[in-house]
A and B are shown apart, each in its own frame.
Chain A
Amino acid sequence: MRLINQHLSPPAATALKFAPFALLILAYLLGSASRLAENPNDKLLPAFSSIAAAVDLMAFTPDRRTGDYLLWTDTWSSLKRLGAGLGISTALALVIGIGIGILPFFRALLVPFVSFVSMVPPLALLPILFISLGLGETSKIALIVIGVAPIMIRDLAQTVLALPREQIVKAETLSASSWLIAIRIVLPQAMPRLLSSLRLQLGPAFLFLIAAEAISADSGLGYRIFLVRRYLSMDVIFPYVAWITFLAASADFAIDRLHRKLFPWSELEGGR
C-alpha cells in the first residue's frame, strides 16, 4: 500500500496528535532534571513546580510595589495596543483596498505606493518611529499598522480585482451607481476575505507588538519577557510565551468562528 493511502484508526490518530507535545514535555523534564541535579538554583530549565510558583506570583498575587496583578495588567496593555493596531489596519484595508479595487483613479494613485510601503521592513523603521512619534503608545500602534496594513490592503485589492467583471457589468446595466456597486456587489464579497486576512496577520501583529514593547514600555507581555530576561527568569518567560500563544490561538479561533457565522456561504467557495 502506498503511504499516501494509509488510513489511521481514530485511536492511533489521537495518539499521534499528542505525541509531539508529549515528546516535548518529556525532553524538557529530562533536561530540567539533569540541570537541576547539577545546580538546584538553575534558572535555564526550571522545574514545573517553580514555573507554577512563578505563575502564582505573576497572575494571582498583587505586586508588592503597585498592588497590580502583573499578568493581567500586562495582558490588558498589550491587547489594547494590539486591538488598536489591528483595528486601524482593518479599517484602512477596507477603505483603501476596495478603493484600489474599483476606482481606476485610486488604483493609479496608490498601487505603486502601497506596494512600495509593504516592502519596507517595519522593524528597521522602529528607531525612526520612536524618535518621530515618541516612546508612548502611538509609536507602538503605528508599528503594528505599518507592519500589517499594507499587506492587508494589497490582499483586499487583489480580491476585489478578481471579482468577475460580469457582475459589475450586470449591475451597471441595472443602472447601479459606483457607490451602489461598491456597497452592494463588492463589499459583501470583500468582507470574508478581510476577516481571513486579519486572521493571517495576527502572528505578525504580535511580533511587532513584542518588538515595540521590548524597546520602551512600563507594562505589556513583551515588556515583561524582555525585563525578566535580564535575570534569566525562564520560570516567568515560559508561562508568558504559553499565554501569548494561547491568546493568539484564541483570537484566531474566534475570528474563524465569526467568519463562519457571518458569511456561511463563503465557505462554499473554498474559503476564498
Chain B
Amino acid sequence: MTITRRLTLTTLAALGVLSFAPAAWAQEKTDFKVAWSIYVGWMPWGYASDTGIVDKWADKYGISIEVTQFNDYVESINQYTAGGYDAVTLTNMDGLSIPAAGGVDTTAVIVGDFSDGNDAVFIKGEGSLADITGRDVNLVEFSVSHYLLARALDSVGLSERDVSVINTADPDMVGAFQTPDVTAMVTWNPMVSEIVALPDATKVFDSAQIPGEIIDLMVASTDVLADNPKFGQALAGIWYETMALMTLDTPEGAAARGAMGAASGTDQAGFEAQMAATKLFADPAEAVAFTSSADLGATMDLVRAFLFDKGLLTPGATSEDAIGIELPDGTVLGDTANVKFRFDNTFMQMAADGSL
C-alpha cells in the first residue's frame, strides 16, 4: 500500500514536471516549428508551405521546418510563449506585450509589412471621430484595435475616459455592428472591408493615418536564432521568394494571390483590396530601411507607453522602461539589463544582398 502510494506520487510528480518542462531552446538543432495565423500580411506563410517553398529553403540549409496554421491568433502567440514553437507571426505590439513581457527573449526576423488602412474606427451614422464621445466602443481589448483607438482619440484631444470600451470577439464584429446597441467599433481586415460596405457605417479613422505604427512581424526566439542562424536565413529565404512571386504582375502572381485569397475566405479581388491597405515590404532593402529608420524607435516608444498605461508591460512594471527593446543600430529603449524584444536586420540584409 505505502509502496504503491509512493510510486503513484513519484509518477504523478514526474508527469507534472515533464508536461510543463520548458522546451530545451538553447542548443543547435535541425527541426523547427513555425506558427502563423490568418491575416493578409501572413498568408504568404501558408502559401509557401503548401507550394513547397518552405521545404526548398529548409533543405538548402539542411534543416526541417514545420509550418502550422492557427485559427486563433492569440493561441498561436501563447503557444510560442509557452515554448511549443520556435517562431510565430505577430504584431510589434503583441510581441512586446505577450512573449517579451512573458520573459521570452524574442527577435523580429522579418518585418513583413505595416497596416496602411487595414485597421479602422467606425461609427454608426453620419459624423466624425469627435462624435465617438460618450459611446460604447466594441473592440478586442488590448489588441492593436485598442491601440488604434487610443491613437485616434489622442489625435482629436480626447482620451479613453470619454468612451466606454466593450470587449467583443473578432469573429462576431460584422454581425455585432448590425445590432442596434452597437454604435462604434474598431476592428481589422477582413472585417473592415465588410463593415465599410454596410449602409450606416462611417469610417472615421484608420491605420493609414498612423502609418508604420502597426507592424506585422515574423519573430523567433532569440536563443534559437543565436544557436541556429540557418533557421533565420531559411525564414528570410522563404519569405522573400514568396514575396517576389505574389507581387508579380503575371498569371503566376495572380494565381498566388488567388490561392491566398481563397485560403483567407475571400477571392483574388478581395485579397488584392486588403493588400492595398497593407504596406508590404516585398523588397528586403525597403524592409531594412524601414527597420533602421529612427521612426521605428518613436513607434515602439508610443507602443510601450500604451502597454504600460494598460498594465500589460509585466505586472510589477513601475515605468515603461521595464522591458528593454533593442533596435537594429544597437540602441536600447528601456532597461538594458532586461532586453527581451529585438529588431534585427541581419537576415533581411542578407536577403537584400542576395547572400542567402
- Interface hits, A208-224 → B, CB 8 Å: 214-218, 223
Which A residues touch B102, using CB under 8 A? 41-43, 231-232
Which chain A residue shows the least CB distance to B313?
A: A231
B181 touches A231 (CB 8 A): no
A135 and B9 form a contact (CB under 8 A): no
CB within 8 Å for A130 and B175 given contacts A45-B20, A216-B166: yes
Among A27, A41, A131, A229, contact of B15 (Cβ-Cβ < 8 Å) = A27
A229 to B175 Cα, complex, angstroms = 24
* Most interface-central of A65, A135, A229, A233 (chain B CB within 10 A): A135
Q: A31-B17, A34-B20, A216-B167 are known contacts; what are 4 more A-B pairs with Cβ within 8 Å?
A: A127-B175, A134-B180, A215-B172, A233-B315
Bitwise, A14-46 to B at CB < 8 A (1) or not (0) is: 000001000100111011101100111111110
Q: Please measure, in the bound complex, the distance between the C-alpha atom of A39 and the C-alpha atom of B161, giving whole angstroms.
A: 36
Asked whether B81 lies within 8 Å of A43 as measured between CB atoms, the reply is yes
Do A218 and B164 touch (CB < 8 A)?
A: yes
Which residues of the other chain, A, contact B161 by a CB distance below 8 angstroms? Answer: 65
1/0 per residue, CB under 8 A from B, across A178-214: the answer is: 0000000000000000000000000000000000001
Contact status of A64 and B142, CB under 8 A, knowing A31-B19, A34-B22, A44-B82:
no
Q: How far is the CA of A216 from the CA of B161 in the complex (A)?
A: 20
B74 in contact with A135 (CB, 8 Å): no
Interface string of B284-298 (1 = CB under 8 A from A): 000000000000000
Distance (Å) between the CB of A115 and the closest chain B CB? 29
List B residues at the A interface (Cβ < 8 Å).
5, 8-9, 12-13, 15-17, 19-22, 74, 78, 81-82, 97-98, 101-104, 138, 141-143, 160-161, 164-169, 172, 175-176, 178-182, 311-312, 314-316, 340
Instruction: Say which size band chain A's interface belongs to.
Output: 35 or more
Tell me whether A230 and B176 are in contact (CB under 8 A). no
Q: What is A's interface to B at a CB cutoff of 8 Å?
A: 19, 23, 26-28, 30-32, 34-35, 38-45, 50, 53-54, 57, 64-65, 127, 130-131, 134-136, 214-218, 223, 226-227, 229-233, 235
Docked complex Cα distance between A218 and B20 (Å): 33
On whether A218 and B12 interact (CB within 8 A), knowing A135-B182, A232-B78, the answer reads no
Complex Cα distance, B75 from A200, in Å, reads 32
Residue of B nearest to A218 (CB): B166
Most buried by B among A130, A214, A231, A233: A231
Closest chain B residue to A16, Cβ basis: B5
Q: Which residues of A contact B104 (CB under 8 A)?
A: 39, 41
| In contact, A43 and B172 (Cβ under 8 angstroms) | no
20 contacts between A and B (CB under 8 A): A23-B12, A30-B13, A30-B17, A34-B20, A41-B104, A41-B340, A42-B22, A43-B81, A43-B101, A54-B315, A127-B175, A131-B178, A218-B165, A227-B167, A229-B78, A230-B141, A230-B142, A231-B102, A231-B312, A232-B78
**Contact in complex: B103, A214 (CB < 8 Å):** no
Known interface pairs A31-B16, A64-B311, A134-B179. Does A216 touch B168 (Cβ–Cβ under 8 Å)? yes
Q: Which residues of chain A come closer than 8 Å to B179, judged between CB atoms?
A: 130-131, 134-135
Q: Top 5 A-B pairs ranked by shortest CB distance?
A: A41-B103, A27-B16, A31-B20, A216-B168, A38-B22
Using CB atoms, name the residue of chain B closest to A213. Answer: B167
Given contacts A35-B22, A43-B81, A227-B167, A216 and B138 within 8 Å (CB-CB): yes
Contact A223 B103 (CB under 8 A): no
Indicate if the CB atoms of B81 and A232 lie closer than 8 Å. Answer: yes
A235 / chain B contacts, CB cutoff of 8 Å: 315
CA distance in complex: A246, B166 (Å): 27
Q: How far is the CA of A215 from the CA of B138 in the complex (A)?
A: 11
Expressed in whole angstroms, the minimum distance between the Cβ of A63 and any Cβ of chain B is 9
A135 touches B181 (CB 8 A): yes
Give the CA-CA distance A41 to B82 in the complex, in Å.
11
CA distance A34 to B16 in the complex (A): 11
CA distance A54 to B316 in the complex (A): 10
Across-interface contacts of B97 in A (CB, < 8 A): 231
Contacts of A45 in B (CB 8 A): 20
* Residue from the list A27, A44, A65, A230 in contact with B74, Cβ < 8 A: A230
Nearest-CB residue, chain A, relative to B179: A134
CB–CB B16/A229 < 8 A: no
- Closest residue of B by beta carbon distance from A35: B22
- The smallest beta-carbon distance between A55 and chain B, in angstroms, is 12
Residues of chain A with a CB closer than 8 A to B340's CB: 41
Distance in Å from the Cβ of A34 to the closest Cβ of chain B?
6
Interface centre among A40, A131, A216, A230 (most CB of B within 10 A): A230
Please tell me which one of the listed residues B16, B103, B164, B168 contacts residue A135 in the complex, with CB atoms under 8 A apart. B168
Residues of B within 8 A of A28 (CB): 16
